Chain A
Amino acid sequence: MKKHLLKVAMGILISGALITSCKKETVEEPNEEEVITTMKLSFVPVGGGSTLTYQFKDADGPGGAAPIQDEIVLAPSKSYNVTVQILNEIKTPAEDITIEVAAEADAHRFYYEPTAGSNIVVSGLNNDANSVPVGITGTWATGAIATGKLKVTLRHFGGTPPGKAIGDLVNSPKSSTDIEVEFNTKIQ
């Protein structure tokens, strides 16, 4: 009995010594955490014309160097089919996180909030499988020449099930913020 127990004790000691000694001295590449560096809005004018892209880009992720943000400049009295894309450009090639958002559309929703006087109306947001807007694509209609702001927010519904509904506002307590970017807009 005693011998057996001593063996057990020794075993523990040795395995403990192994645990503490087989740690690697090298700095391993950490498993990279998802970082969103970029939100890109692509504007395809209805009825032809060249595609415009405007973006918010924080090349090194949160902190560090300040992000670079475009001003959205659009033509008056025009309609644009707009697609939003979110990227992790730290990776090469850049990782398109929009694919994941689309795959879990029932837990995500983009909101577009133009300020009064910006003369921009956003409509026709695409829906998820439950016919609730997800907003990866939409239509932007411009009015007369104006300057203003437009806030793009991506909300994440964390509940199980997410319980996303048509009436959920941008500040719904059901969801939390993944992205919140306010662009300056100019119609000229």
Chain B
Amino acid sequence: MVIANNAIAQPCNYLLSGHVEDVDTNEKLVAATASIKETGKQIVTNEKGDFVFTALCAGEYTLLITHVSCDTVVKKIILTKDYHIDILMPHTRKVLGKVVVNAQKGTANTGFKKELSGRALEETKGLSLAEALSKINGITILQTGSTISKPVIHGLHSNRILTINNGVRQEGQQWGNEHAPEIDPFIADKLIVIKGVDELRYGSDAIGGVILVEAKPLRNKPGHAAEINNAYFANNRQYVFSGMFEQQLKKQPAFRFRVQGTYKKGANATTPNYRLNNTGSEEKNFSITTGWKKEKFNTEIFYSHFATKVGIFNGAHIGNLTDLLNAIVAKKPNDVFLGQNTYTIQRPYQDVSHDLLKSKSIFYSGEHKFTILLAGQFNHRKEFDIVRSSTNKNPQLDLSIYTITEDLSWEHQKINNFSGIAGVSMMQQDNSYNGRYFIPNYFAYSFGGYYIEKWSKHKWELQAGVRYDNKSINTTRLKFNADTINYDFNFSTFASSFNTVYKPTENWKLNTNISLASRAPYVNELLSDGIHHGTATYEKGDISLKPEHSINVSAGINYQHSSKNFSMDVLLYSNSINNFIYQQPMPNNPVLTIAGAFPLIAYKQTDAVLSGFDISALIKPLSALEWTSKFSFLYARNKILNDWLILMPANRLGNEITYNLKNGKKITNKYLSAEMMNVMQQNNVPSDANGKQDYKVPPAAYTLISMNASATMVVYKTSVTVSIGVRNLLNTAYRDYLNSMRYFTDEMGRNISIRLKIQL
């Protein structure tokens, strides 16, 4: 055991020592890795299971201990003098769980995984889930103004992405471009994007990838903790207040719980030259997690409520194609839609709520682990359009969807280098509408099963998996004369994936993957029938659509120099999607309505290919200075029409420099960072030869500069982190191709933010 013996405590001269044992066997754990998150230092325990960090400053540190056959242990330590800690690692369970590890640490990584956590996630506190995810290279956002955003992975979004909220597949009205994910980002401790074999656990239809919103595990130490996050954004006077309290009972340590809530309210946002009326938003969320953990049994109940009300810029109301063409000609919106600095939200707005109740139980039996996951979800989406009569209080679009899911899984421990998981999933869903027809009422039932095995030895890691799903949909549409129109559908979808990881040396990691996925058409693609006001088109579904089939081939190269002063990550991908469902303009069949003629856009199928690469590099020219550079490129073609695909994110280059200041006696984790993001113009858009799809050329390229500064203090044993940030520092007026408001308004101007995090 290493004990400090320096008599005079100097600043930055403290020792942090520790001893690691297996909790059950008391075996001293050799070669466990102890790392300090804040400094990045890593030490491997010696044959006695000991480690020691030297020359530490006073302050708060996060100590992570990992060992091949144990769960990771995280300890928060407030260092005011030399400190020793004994760590008991949870019992060995060599099952393949969610092995979430940071690739940069050079530890095992399964498939393709990109993660946002720690400091990078902290910098996004107060932003929406999609905005936070867009920090990850290769992920962009699809927006409706500044208040509605949804993530896009390698050009794909909505039904082609699965969002897994706390282990449960999020079921709302995710098909719409202006339907943002209904999740409070403050729940997340990590946001992870996965592609490859692990997708199969969640569905056969993850053509674009899977987003995991992972909460922090419940407290594993008797006592309690609380965290308060506040943020204020000057541009739209948005304030955010989020609080969390968690406890593990001292007398009954098996019982743990956490309560968490967020309140967020923003006023109208301003562009560099004008303020946009009715762009405010409000969000009220809370969640409760309770858990009971014994050695062989572990159960958790989670409930979350999400409610949001978001205004949509009222100068963007489009009655018909003439209106759209007029709006495109105008340099800026009319003054009657500008200039109000208020929190009031008027029509048009969305009012969306999402409730999730989940129960998850895990049983251990010998080398086997069984998980039962039951979840109920209720999503209620109301869209209030501009209406003729101010006495009309009804929403124009009103969709309620109830979903119940049952998932059972079995995992087995690593035997002869194999580990595996198999499971079955079932889902029952009921959707109903009120008001304007856009999609029908329906009942949907699905069942599916999957099996994944992983084999690893020495430098190799091979994984393979298969999944089958069957989905039945019974739809009912009510016609004006009380007749109904019923359609029934049944789709079988199959998916499989194979992944190889090869690590020739400690520095290199090569990863290749081939995945087959298939996605059944969604009801909006089959049966939508109506005017889409945002684009002034008449959208019509097609009941003869068949499932999409994708073959996705990816290759990853990861290099990390032994000094850790340089690392590089390259991902190449090519996703061929047969029967790709897209919207094709039908220029010869306009739909004549009382509001004028609307171009008809029909859902069609083609063969598409989306290829591209994401590349990122990290260089540390000095120990305190870090430069990260990332570039993402996408090439998306309609192979049958031999044309580009519409609404694909433009290529972009990001550069960020971070300077970590030396820790002081009282103030730690000080850093300054500056980021420059160059978004190119999207020139690869469909030609008018096959019918006009868009009426305005994509917006010009733009460059945004953002800055952040942060520091942590310990005040009365309480850790306080203050951060100041600014986005769009130069107050650049720009528009983005993936924002449907690009026809009408500029994007948000300079936005200065201040964040305060208090950990009690």
Please report A residues at the B interface, Cβ cutoff 8 Å: 1-2, 5, 8-9, 12-13, 16-17, 19-20, 23, 27-34, 36-39, 56, 58, 60-63, 66-67, 90, 97, 100-101, 103-104, 108, 155-163, 171-174, 176-181
Contacts and interface: CB of A to CB of B under 8 A. Distances in A.
Given A2-B249, A101-B388, A177-B596, A12 B480 contact: no
Given A28-B434, A62-B593, 11 more contacts: A12-B357, A19-B376, A20-B402, A28-B432, A62-B531, A67-B593, A103-B389, A155-B319, A159-B337, A177-B319, A179-B595
B336 A163 contact: yes
Interface string B384-406: 00111110101010100010100
A30 to B, nearest CB: 5
A17 B594 CA distance: 46
13 contacts: A13-B359, A20-B378, A23-B402, A27-B432, A29-B478, A61-B480, A62-B595, A63-B593, A156-B386, A171-B326, A176-B323, A177-B319, A177-B596
Contacts of A156: 319, 386, 388
Interface in B335-382: 336-337, 346, 355, 357, 359, 376, 378
Contact of A27 (B252, B257, B314, B476): B476
Nearest to B357: A16
Given A58-B593, A90-B480, A178 B290 contact: no
A30 B314 contact: no
B507 interface: no
Contacts of B402: 20, 23
A62 B319 contact: no
Name, among B317, B476, B484, the residue most crowded by chain A CB atoms within 10 Å (CB to CB). Answer: B317
B22 interface: no
B288 A173 contact: no
Contacts of B596: 177, 180-181
Interface string B236-256: 000000000000010110010
Of B334, B402, B435, B598, which is in contact with the most chain A CB atoms at under 10 Å from its CB? B334
Contact of A179 (B301, B387, B594): B594
A176 B319 contact: yes
B255 A173 contact: no
B327 interface: yes
B389 A158 contact: no
B476 A33 contact: no
Contacts of B594: 36-39, 56, 58, 62, 67, 179-181
Contacts of A158: 314-315, 317, 337, 386
Contacts of A56: 594
A178 B598 CA distance: 13
Contacts of A36: 594-595
Contact of B430 (A23, A173, A178): A23
B407 to A, nearest CB: 16
Contact of A178 (B378, B482, B595): B595
